């Protein structure tokens, strides 16, 4: 068990967003969180990302209890989020490398022998590493030196994923990763997610309201309704109709 949530509750004023939710994420597993609007998907993922703490309940990471007071602490434990809006996470006029290394640029001393404290960006190294990451996970981009604005939505999302991968996360949280994409690009990104889970060994939680894509990619589906976990199933054993029934409620 990589991650375990135990009886987590969270309310915003009168609104009970999550109520006694328990949730497990195994090593190398891709889990889809589904549910209607206001079911608590986003709240759950934000608690995992450290955006806000739960009111009640515990989180265990690899058996150890952890508390995330802010996103940075979640990062330090290897949990990263890729948001649905690329506009929020990419610098459009910067090249792919700059975006992949944003905020964590690699530097080297300018003069190694004397005044070693003057440090400059190690551009060559960063470019090499960026290319490596991209080719390893099979993202095809013709040049890491071209700015983000010159790429399509799917390619931009891929760059955002590549950035998360570089940080060698244990857990990747994807919030509606394909919401803004066209059909063809959607499948490219889904394939990429699948590969990240299986080949890179990253555990992934996907939040989505598109059952189509959830069935395509995940190992297990967790259904939320009114802030509670109402069902779990494997896509190979359940039908979409069954899941829809769980989402809307009633037997």
Partner 1 sequence: MKRREFLKTVLDNSVWVILSIFLIFNAFYTPRFFTVLNLRNILIHSSILGIVVIGESLCLLSGHFDLSVESTLALAAVVGSLLVKNGMGIFTSILAMLLSGGMVGLVNGMLIRKVGLNAFVATLITYIGVRGTALGIVEGKTIWNLPPSFCFLGAGTIWLFPVQILLLIGLYGVFHLLLITTRFGRHVYLVGDNQLAARISGINVDRVVVSVFVLSGFLSAFAGLVMAGRLNSASPLFGTGMVFEAMSAAIIGGISLRGGVGSLPMALGGVLLLSSISNVLNLHAVSPYWIQTIRAIMILFAVVLDSLKRRLVRYEE
Residues of this chain that bind partner 1 (CB under 8 A): 71-72, 75, 87-94, 98, 102-105, 107, 110, 119-121, 146-147, 149-152
Say which residue the tokens 């997610």 belong to.
193
For the chain, give percent helix, strand, coil, nearest 5.
35, 30, 40
- In this complex, which beta carbon is closest to partner 1, that of residue 98 or of residue 214? 98
State the minimum distance, in angstroms, from the CB of residue 179 to partner 1: 16
- In this complex, which beta carbon is closest to partner 1, that of residue 92 or of residue 249? 92
Answer for the pair 3, 78: CB distance below 8 angstroms, yes or no. no
State the minimum distance, in angstroms, from the CB of residue 122 to partner 1: 10
Phi/psi of residue 51, nearest 5 degrees: -65, -45
State the minimum distance, in angstroms, from the CB of residue 40 to partner 1: 23
- Of 96, 193, 101, nearest to 150 by C-alpha is 96
- In this complex, which beta carbon is closest to partner 1, that of residue 22 or of residue 107? 107
Answer for the pair 193, 138: CB distance below 8 angstroms, yes or no. no
Tell me whether strands 220-225 and 30-35 are parallel, antiparallel or unpaired: parallel
State the minimum distance, in angstroms, from the CB of residue 8 to partner 1: 24
- In this complex, which beta carbon is closest to partner 1, that of residue 15 or of residue 102? 102
């Amino acid at each position: 068990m990589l991650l375990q949530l135990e009886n987590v509750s969270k309310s915003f004023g009168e609104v009970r967003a999550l109520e006694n939710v328990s949730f497990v994420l195994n090593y190398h597993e891709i889990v889809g969180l589904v549910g209607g609007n206001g079911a608590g998907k986003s709240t759950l993922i934000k608690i995992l990302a450290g955006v806000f703490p739960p009111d009640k309940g515990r989180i265990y990471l690899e058996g150890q209890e952890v508390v995330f007071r802010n996103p940075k602490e979640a990062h330090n434990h290897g949990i990263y989020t890729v948001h649905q809006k690329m506009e929020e996470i990419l610098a459009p006029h910067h090249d792919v490398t700059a975006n992949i290394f944003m905020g964590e640029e690699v530097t080297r001393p300018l003069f190694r022998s004397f005044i070693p404290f003057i440090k400059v960006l190690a551009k060559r190294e960063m470019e090499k590493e960026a290319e490596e990451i991209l080719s390893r996970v099979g993202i095809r981009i013709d040049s890491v030196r071209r700015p983000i604005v010159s790429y399509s939505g799917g390619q931009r999302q891929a760059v955002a994923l590549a950035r998360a991968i570089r940080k060698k996360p244990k857990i990747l949280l994807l919030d509606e990763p394909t919401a803004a994409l066209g059909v063809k690009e959607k499948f490219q990104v889904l394939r990429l997610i699948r590969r990240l889970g299986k080949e890179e060994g990253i555990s992934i939680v996907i939040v989505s309201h598109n059952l189509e894509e959830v069935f395509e990619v995940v190992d297990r589906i967790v259904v939320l309704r009114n802030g509670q976990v109402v069902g779990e199933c494997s896509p190979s054993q359940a039908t979409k109709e069954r899941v829809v029934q769980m989402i809307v409620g009633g037997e």
